[in-house]
């Protein structure tokens, strides 16, 4: 068990994990209430800006952004709010990466962990044809020498 100081109210509490690393259970509860409030607010004010939400709901912008990164908050397409893809910097509405970067990462992962059979088949075929070319050249050389 780990005893920590709550960042919000300063009380000591037993840290048991979870997404709010620096908050005591009391403050986590009020933060969850805040989250519900912000979510409702966004639903009703689809074009609200980040400072506006922060001011009207009395929540720090960093906290709102964290919820967005955790994919707990979603903004509508007509919302002016966007955050940067952590990889390429393109504007996204939720999460950490844009769809393109997510795709790229999934591909890298599947390359690493799964045998992509169509790809390795193609690679093998390429190698075979290279070898065939080489062999036939060698064969031709041999034939030429024998002449
Ligand atoms: Zn607290
Ligand atoms: Zn990206």
Residue-wise pLDDT tens digits, 118-145 = 555 555 555 555 555 555 666 666 666 6
CA distances from 140 to 126, 127, 136, 144 (A): 21, 20, 6, 6
CA of 19 to the centre of ligand 1 (A): 14
pLDDT at 119: 52
Residue 105 lies in a domain: yes
Structural domain contains residue 40:
no
Nearest ligand to the C-alpha atom of residue 4: 1
Return the pLDDT at 32: 94
57 C-alpha to ligand 1 centroid (Å):
19
Average pLDDT over residues 40-59: 95
DSSP summary character for residue 114: S
Q: What is the pLDDT of residue 76?
A: 85
Q: Does residue 18 lie within any of the structural domains?
A: no
pLDDT confidence of residue 12 = 94
Pair 129, 106 in one domain: no
Residue of 96, 33, 20 lying closest to 59 (CA atoms) = 33
Query: Residues 130, 108: one domain?
Result: no
* pLDDT mean over 103-107: 91
Please tell me the total count of domains within the chain.
2
The rounded percent of the chain whose pLDDT value lies above 90 is 55
Q: How far is the CA of 96 from the centre of ligand 2 (A)?
A: 8
Asked if residue 66 is part of any domain, the answer here is no
- H or E segment at 95? none
| Residues of the domain holding 128 | 123-147
For residue 106, tell me if it sits in a domain: yes
Q: What pLDDT does residue 103 have?
A: 94
Token representation of residue 82: 């966007």
Q: Which secondary structure element, helix H or strand E, spans residue 60, and what is its range?
A: none
Q: Count CA atoms within 13 Å of residue 96 on its CB side.
A: 6
Q: Which ligand is nearest to the CA of 102?
A: 2
Which ligand neighbours the alpha carbon of 85 most closely? 2
Q: Which ligand is nearest to the CA of 83?
A: 2
pLDDT at 111: 79
Contact 75, 93 (CB under 8 A): yes
Whole-number pLDDT of residue 50: 93
Query: Once rounded to an integer, what is the mean pLDDT over residues 37-65?
Result: 95
């Amino acid at each position: 068990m780990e005893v920590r100081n709550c960042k919000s109210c300063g009380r000591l509490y037993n840290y048991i994990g979870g997404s709010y690393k620096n908050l005591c259970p009391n403050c986590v509860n009020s933060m969850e209430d805040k989250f519900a409030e912000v979510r409702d607010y966004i639903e009703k004010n689809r074009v609200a800006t980040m400072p506006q939400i922060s001011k009207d709901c009395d929540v720090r912008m960093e906290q709102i952004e964290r919820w967005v990164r955790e994919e707990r908050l979603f903004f509508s397409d007509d919302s002016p709010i966007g955050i940067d893809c952590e990889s390429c910097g393109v504007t996204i509405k939720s999460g950490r990466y844009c769809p393109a970067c997510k795709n790229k990462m999934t591909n890298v992962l599947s390359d690493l962990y799964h045998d992509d059979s169509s790809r390795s088949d193609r690679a093998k075929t390429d190698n075979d044809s290279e070898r065939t070319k080489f062999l036939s050249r060698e064969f031709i050389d041999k034939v030429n020498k024998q002449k």
